[in-house]
Structure 1
Amino acid sequence: MSTRVLYKVSFLSGGRIYELYARRVGSSPLWGFTEVADLVFDVGDGVVIDPVEERLRDEFADTRVLHLPMQSVLRVEEVDRKGAAAIRDAGSGDKVVTPFPLPAKPR
């Protein structure tokens, strides 16, 4: 087990459930908010790239600390190791993935 604490944070934003990993989670100095800091993303140098992880990394690239409204935080879990970050549809729970574009059918 790692000596550094790792949290999996699930929160609702724009009709989607975001699942991120962070090193620090606590009460924000802003009343009614939860502070999520030190976001953790895979820094894969390999050929295979997770499009969801890449999208989240781009979206939160310049973010030092997230201040999330307490009512949007669904779950905070202390975990032993990082899993895959995800974006899910809030209604169905299905992962939101941009499909690989397929060529149009010839007519």
Structure 2
Amino acid sequence: MTPKTLYKVTFLNHGKVYALYARQVESGRLWGFVEVSELVFDVHDGLVVDPTEERLRDEFAGTRTLHLPMQSVLRVEEVEKKGHSAIRDAATGEAVVTPFPLPARPR
């Protein structure tokens, strides 16, 4: 049995650049849309949890198919293995989700 194809889909959404992994990407049945389905997220049983992965899993929970406008898709890559999913600010490229809580600033 051959392993299923894995895609990295990078797209723009509300001023942020999302990078998600999916098993299926097709030109949509809806004209002008790309269909992304079978989203792939890491499942961690240990103590270390990736906050970006958690946020994406929560945001897309219950999503069977994501219909993205063609003009919002920046890149679709067929990859051998899953890397890190990400949410970045489109203008600066900085990560939107910080890995650790920031300390409170003294007033």
TM-score (norm. length: structure 2)? 0.92
1:32-43 to 2 correspondence within 5 Å?
A: 32-43=32-43
Q: Which residue of 1 aligns with 2:14?
A: 14
Q: Provide the secondary structure at the position in 2 that maps to 1:81.
A: coil
- Within the alignment, does 1:54 sit opposite 2:59 as a pair? no
- Shift, 1:104, TM fit: 4.5
Q: Which residue of 1 aligns with 2:88?
A: 88
Tell me the distance in 2 between the aligned counterparts of 1:46 and 1:87.
23
Q: Return the letter of the residue paired with 1:77.
A: E
Q: Return the letter of the residue paired with 1:12.
A: L
Q: Which residue of 1 aligns with 2:103?
A: 102
Tell me the distance in 2 between the aligned counterparts of 1:31 and 1:62.
24
Q: RMSD of the TM alignment (CA)?
A: 1.4
Deviation track 1:35-75 (CA, whole Å, cap 9, x = no partner) reads 00000000111100000000000000010000000000000
- Shift, 1:94, TM fit: 1.4
- Shift, 1:30, TM fit: 0.4
- Shift, 1:101, TM fit: 3.8
- Within the alignment, does 1:30 sit opposite 2:30 as a pair? yes
Tell me the distance in 2 between the aligned counterparts of 1:104 and 1:91.
26
Q: Percent identity?
A: 64
TM-score (norm. length: structure 1)? 0.92
Structure 2 residue runs without a partner (length 5+): none
